[in-house]
Every structure is written in structure tokens, then in C-alpha cells.
Amino acid sequence: MTQSENQQNALTHDVIIVGGGPAGLCAAMYCGRGMLDGLLIERGLPGGELLNTDLIEDYIGFESILGRDLAEKMTSHAKKFGANIVTDTVESIERREDGDFDVTTQLGKVYRAPAVIVTAGGTPTKLGVPGEKEYAGKGVSYCAVCDGAFFKAETIAVVGGGDAAVEEADYLTRYAEKVYLIHRRDQLRASPILQQRALENPKIEMVWNKVVEVIHGDDHGVNQLRLRDTNTGGQSTLSVTGCFIFIGFIPNSGVIKGHFEHDAQGYIITDDHMMTSIPGLFAAGDLRVQLTRQITTAVGDATTAAIAVEKYLTVRKEQAVASSP
């Protein structure tokens, strides 16, 4: 079937939610409670990054819960209120001339709705070295706020030289006994005030002109990093129990066709209703411009977005009635 034929046979809904992490599942739950015909499209199992997180201790109401267990509870809750979840990969979101959106997927489906909530999150930039994937959640982390408390009185490493890496290294010193800050150059890229704070922190030791080549570990988790000197090529090792990687984060906003307001890093700018600069297109969670990216902020965004969608659709219907002959 051609793309044109798919568009003609588009499956229609009140709202389409793109992404099945905490924000997407929360949005689906609220849309269900609002009696909206919603569809959630997720490329894998519902839960998003929760499925890559071992233990969560900063989500209110759960002093300690496995990431996969929280994902299961959120999915079950959303389904209780009628969430319709399909497994597919969204390739494009495009606004039509009539104001509706066509959401096209990898399997060749086209779904249509007057409102879309994008909760596709973002992807931490990986080092791409041996051991990184094997020890993800077992010493390798991309979130200091999420995992820092697991490393009390331990020696850990932070990889990166920008604002995020330097700020998170400073944050981690409240837990760790020592933090190595590993950077591939001989000076940081972070803002001067963050650099000063890190350089003056007695718990932080700079490791200049080094890159991580291998992350070693055992059944207990990470225990050593193999480093390469970017000037001489020489190798060395560093004994640590944790490796926090902050070398970039890419918001998954590339599926949106057409211009939308965003910041320099590509994060989507929204108003206080979570609506983007494209009418009817809402964003929630990690791909939105905000101070911090946590499970709590993701579900908060999603709550606002879902309720805002209800109001948006009501106004849209009223305007359609008023303008009809």
C-alpha cells in the first residue's frame, strides 16, 4: 500500500501519544480518565528508561522499587483506564492543512488525530566502549540525581567536560568519598562558575587528556576503568565503583516535521499548558526545555498536557460548530 493510500485509510483517534515511558503512560492514563479515544505508540515495551534502571528511590510513594516493577505498575494503571498501546516506531508527525496530525510509523501505519502528545524523551550519548552496556545500571549511569545515593563513601568517575558533567560531579561529592572528573582535553568546556566550583572542591580530582577505553567489572558491578592518554596514547587504569557519563543528550524530537520552537540543543519549548509552537502538538518529559529531568517531572508534564488536550479539543469542537453554516 502506498503512502497516499495509507493516509486515506488513516486510523483516527482523539489524541495520539508518542512514547511509552513514564510521561507517555501517565498521559495515556489521564486521557483515559477524560474519556478520550487515545492511542499510545511505543517502539518497545512500555516503561522507557525505567526498564534500563535497576533501583529507583526518588519516586514519591515508593521508598525503593525496581525500574521494571514501576514500569509494570504504570502500564497496568494506564490500561485500567482504557489505554490503547501499540508497539511500533513513529517515523514522522506532520500537521495537515485541516489542523489534524498524521503520525506515520515504521510498519506503514498512518494514525490521525487533532492532538498529539510527544513524550519520546531523549537518548544519553554513549561512550560506545566495551563494558558500558554490560554494566549499565550496575555502576554505569547517566543520571547523578537518580543513582548518586547508591555510591555513598565510594570512589567514582564522571566522564565529560561540559556544564552537565561538571555540575553532576560537584553534586556527586555529597555522596562519594572521591570523584574523578575525566576529560579528553586539558581544560573544561563548562561555564566559569561551574569550573571554579569543581576545581575548588577537595573531593574532585581532575583527570586531564584521558578517554575511557574499557569499563571493567565483576558480579558486583564496575571496579575499574582503562584509560587512554589523548596526547601520548599511553594507557592507565583507574579503580572506581561507578562511572557516570555526561557527554551529551539528544532529545528525540526529530520525528516532528515542520518548524517548532526549540533551544540551541534541540529541546522543545512549550507554554505552561505543554503546547508547542505548533497548535495541537504537546510535549512532555525529557525532550522539553526544563530545569531537571526526573520521573516526577515527566509525569507532572504529562498530567498537564493530557488535561490541556481535553480543553483544546473542547474549544476546537466549539469553534467548528460556530463556524459551520
CB 181 within 8 A of CB 166: yes
Which cell numbers in the block locate residue 94?
Answer: 506532520
Helix, strand, or coil (residue 73) = helix
CA Rg, the chain, in Å?
A: 22
Helix, strand, or coil (residue 9) = coil
Helix, strand, or coil (residue 43) = coil
What lies within 8 Å, CB to CB, of 124 at 6+ separation is 142, 245, 248, 249
Nearest to 222 by CA among 116, 138, 306: 138
Which positions are annotated as active-site residues? Answer: 143, 146-147
What does the alpha-carbon distance between residue 158 and residue 181 come to, in Å, rounded to a whole number? 5
State the Cα torsion 72-54-26-19 to the nearest 10°.
-100
CB neighbourhood size of 234 (10 A): 10
Helix, strand, or coil (residue 121) = coil
